[in-house]
């Protein structure tokens, strides 16, 4: 058995196991004992938690909270709504669609860690939404839809599938003439970097004109270790491009220091910050919510102009009608007849000419 398989077989998902890593508070104990939702983490990720800090940013992401039973802002049956599963287009359960040329291909509903803030929690954490993961049916559907250019392989965590299964999905997708790009969404480079084995690198790293991109999810600098850095290097040196999709989470990364450090440290280990997601209106995750303006403020106050532009993610909210950018809007203050007035992150102003038909006004 490889190390990553051992980690999955021995997931920390009982009070007894968790006690090996943290001193559980009475509140946490009660939340764990009364939850009906799936919870758990890899031993590796658990080992990064501060034993005595109930506000530890990794702990808050993986240990159930009593607040999960509350719901003020979440939409019931959120995933069906968000992924347009009840719409007119009949699709296999594995296919979620918001765009004409891209789809999400959901191939599994298990994860390395069961994030308490997950927007797919109905499928992954609460297990109230049961889907049929018929991969061949999904592949046939993708083949029949030649308007598609890109497939996002997601879950759950698709890198938990065995190497030969991943190889099969990639090979079948690459046989479809209209598929130009394959993307993976996986938290494993962060929560189980041991998964990036020589075998997996061989599967992902074959040169092909259809490239593979991988977006992971890292929400706090504390999640980044030497093992993560090596896993990312392994992916990059196999030809897989790696980006990050952080989620803005109250009490975890919504303060200036944590936010800047996260994005700088991602660059240090060669991960390009890609998205910062505003938390979606899934039920039972209100305790992680911030005001919508918060992400733009953090980008304005800690990233834009304060550190490398490479560290800047695009701040968006993913909705049932696609992603909507929420970036800070300080750049165009005014459009006059002859010039724009632009503002930088310090509130300083400058001007640029208004161009009409390729000529200055």
How many residues bind ligand SF4, per CB under 6 A?
12
Residue 162 host element (H or E):
none
Interaction of residue 304 with ligand SF4, rule CB under 6 A: no
Among 162, 236, 244, residue whose Cα is nearest residue 205? 236
Backbone angles phi, psi at 185, to 5 degrees: -110, 115
Q: What minimum distance in Å lies between the beta carbon of 119 and ligand SF4?
A: 7
Minimum distance, C-beta of residue 114 to ligand SF4, in the bound complex (Å): 5
Nearest approach, Cβ of residue 88 and ligand SF4 (Å): 27
| 120 interacts with ligand SF4 by CB under 6 A | yes
**Alpha carbon of residue 122 to chain centroid:** 16
Q: Which of residues 75-114 bind ligand SF4 (CB under 6 A)?
A: 111, 113-114
Distance CA 152, CA 108 (A): 13
Is 248 among the residues that bind ligand SF4 (CB under 6 A)? Answer: no
For residue 271, the 8-state DSSP code is P
Task: Return phi, psi of residue 247, to 5°.
Answer: -115, 135
**Binding window for ligand SF4 (CB under 6 A); candidates: 154-162, 259-267, 292-300, 301-309:** 154-162
| 156 touches ligand SF4 (CB under 6 A) | yes
* Per-residue buried b or exposed e for 241-265, using 16+ beta carbons within 10 Å of the residue's own CB: ebbbbbbbbbebbbeeebbbbbbbb
- Report d(CA 118, CA 122) in Å as an integer: 9
Pick from 49, 118, 169, 317 the residue near ligand SF4 by CB under 6 A. Answer: 118
Which residues, other chains included, contact 57 with Cβ-Cβ below 8 Å and sequence gap of 6+? Answer: 219, 220, 222, 223, 251, 252, 253, 258
Residue among 219 and 238 whose Cβ is closer to ligand SF4? 219
* 246 binds ligand SF4, rule: CB under 6 A: no
Q: Counting contacts by CB under 6 A, is residue 115 touching ligand SF4?
A: yes
Taking the complex as a whole, the smallest distance from the CB of residue 219 to ligand SF4 amounts, in Å, to: 10
DSSP 259: H
Quick one: 115 or 252, whose CB is closer to ligand SF4?
115
What's the gap between Cα 235 and its chain centre? 17
Comparing CB distances to ligand SF4, the nearer of 64 and 156 is 156
Nearer to ligand SF4, 120 or 201 (CB): 120
Q: Nearer to ligand SF4 by C-beta: 189 or 328?
A: 189
- Within 164-203, the residues that bind ligand SF4 by CB under 6 A are 187
Within 8 A by CB and 6+ apart from 218, the residues are 190, 224, 228, 244, 246, 262, 266, 271
Q: Is residue 161 a contact residue for ligand SF4 (CB under 6 A)?
A: no
What is the rounded CA–CA span in Å between residue 132 and residue 154?
A: 14
- Considering only 126, 157, 254, 261, the residue that binds ligand SF4 (CB under 6 A) is 157
Q: Please report, as ranges, the residues that interact with ligand SF4 according to CB under 6 A.
A: 111, 113-115, 118, 120, 124-125, 155-157, 187
């Amino acid at each position: 058995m490889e190390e990553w398989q051992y980690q999955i077989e021995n997931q920390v998902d009982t009070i007894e196991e968790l006690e090996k890593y943290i001193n559980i508070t009475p509140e946490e104990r009660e939340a764990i004992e009364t939850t009906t939702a799936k919870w758990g983490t890899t031993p590796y990720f658990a080992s990064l938690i501060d034993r005595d800090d109930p506000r530890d940013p990794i702990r808050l992401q993986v240990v159930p909270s009593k607040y999960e039973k509350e719901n003020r802002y979440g939409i019931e049956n959120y995933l069906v709504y968000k992924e347009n599963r009840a719409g007119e287009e009949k699709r296999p359960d594995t296919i979620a669609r918001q765009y004409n040329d891209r789809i999400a291909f959901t191939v599994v509903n298990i994860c390395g860690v069961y994030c308490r803030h997950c927007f797919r929690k109905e499928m992954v954490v609460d297990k109230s939404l049961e889907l049929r993961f018929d991969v061949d049916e999904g592949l046939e559907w993708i083949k029949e839809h030649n308007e598609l250019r890109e497939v996002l392989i997601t879950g759950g965590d698709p890198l938990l599938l065995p190497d030969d299964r991943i190889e099969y999905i990639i090979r079948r997708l690459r046989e479809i003439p209209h598929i130009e790009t394959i993307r993976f969404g996986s938290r494993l480079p962060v929560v189980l970097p041991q998964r990036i084995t020589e075998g997996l690198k061989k599967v992902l790293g074959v040169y092909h004109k259809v490239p593979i991109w991988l977006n992971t999810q890292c929400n706090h600098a504390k999640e980044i270790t030497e093992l993560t850095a090596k896993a990312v290097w392994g992916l990059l040196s196999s030809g897989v491009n790696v980006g990050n999709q952080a989620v803005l989470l109250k009490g975890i990364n919504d303060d200036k220091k944590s936010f800047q450090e996260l994005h700088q440290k991602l660059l240090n280990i060669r991960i390009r910050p890609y998205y910062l997601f505003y938390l979606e209106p899934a039920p039972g995750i209100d305790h992680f919510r911030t005001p919508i303006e918060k992400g733009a403020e953090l980008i304005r106050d800690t990233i834009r102009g304060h550190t490398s532009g490479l560290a800047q993610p695009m701040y968006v909210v993913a909705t049932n009608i696609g992603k909507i950018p929420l970036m800070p809007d300080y750049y165009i203050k005014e459009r006059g007849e002859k010039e724009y007035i632009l503002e930088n992150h310090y509130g300083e102003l400058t001007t640029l000419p208004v161009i009409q038909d390729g000529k200055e006004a």
